[in-house]
Amino acid sequence: MRWDQLSPNLCSAIAFLKEVGLSVTVVPAVEPGFVDGCRIVDGALLLTPSCQVSTLLHEAGHLAIVPADYRSWINDDVEEGIAKIFELSGVQDIHPDHPFSRALIQCSDVEATAWAWAAGKAVGLREKDIIQDHEYGGAGGYVRILLRGKSYLGIHGLVHAGMCLFPDRGGYPLMQKWIQDADRHAAGPYDFAYHQKS
């Protein structure tokens, strides 16, 4: 697929996503999935030139917040993949404050949305391109207000997952890491209070 067939916004977003370590491939068409023009297949993003940049960033957010060792377990039904990780990774055998436990707990839609907003800001996109008015059941404008005001629930989740600091500490939408690298086999519980002082 030629890059001149893509919108400038898509080109910028794809370059950013590849730079942070996500797999992105542009294809002529994708089988129908959860969203138009974009699918998650074995932890990789497949998109068509007609894909909206807001859709791409949100789907990328779902992948970015999943611990890297398990990203390939994620397909279109993200919740199904997360449930599989909870069931088979042995997370129930480690401390609930371990970085891996915290990372899995914070793998919901609101964290993906907060991640997408931060990514769109990093790319330099207009806010209405990052989240469109009609998205989120027609509440896209309201979601933008919450994110702009740094009061969206998903921000808190990204902080607890160790991906950024609280906004009042010079954090979000600046990210400490774009990809969740929490390792299930790393030693020791996560010291949340210490993390916030760093």
Give the span between the Cα atoms of 153 and 159, in whole angstroms. 10
pLDDT digits (tens, 9 = 90+) for 135-190: 999 999 999 999 999 999 999 999 999 999 999 888 999 999 999 999 988 866 55
3-state secondary structure of 40: strand
- Chain-centroid distance of CA 139 in Å reads 19
- 44 forms beta bridges with 41
Q: What pTM did the predictor assign? A: 0.92
Two tokens at 88?
A: 């088979």
pLDDT beyond 70 at 1: no
Residue 32: its pLDDT value, please?
Answer: 76
pLDDT beyond 60 at 41: yes
Give the span between the Cα atoms of 19 and 11, in whole angstroms. 12
pLDDT beyond 60 at 100: yes
pLDDT digits (tens, 9 = 90+) for 53-97: 999 999 999 999 999 999 999 999 999 999 999 999 999 888 888
Q: In the chain, what are the helix, strand and coil shares in percent, each to the nearest 5?
A: 55, 5, 40
Ranges of each domain in the chain: 3-197
Residue 33: its pLDDT value, please?
Answer: 74
Residue 191: its pLDDT value, please?
Answer: 52
Residue 2: its pLDDT value, please?
Answer: 56
Q: How many helices (H) and strands (E) does the chain have?
A: 10, 3
The pLDDT of 10-18, averaged and rounded, is 97
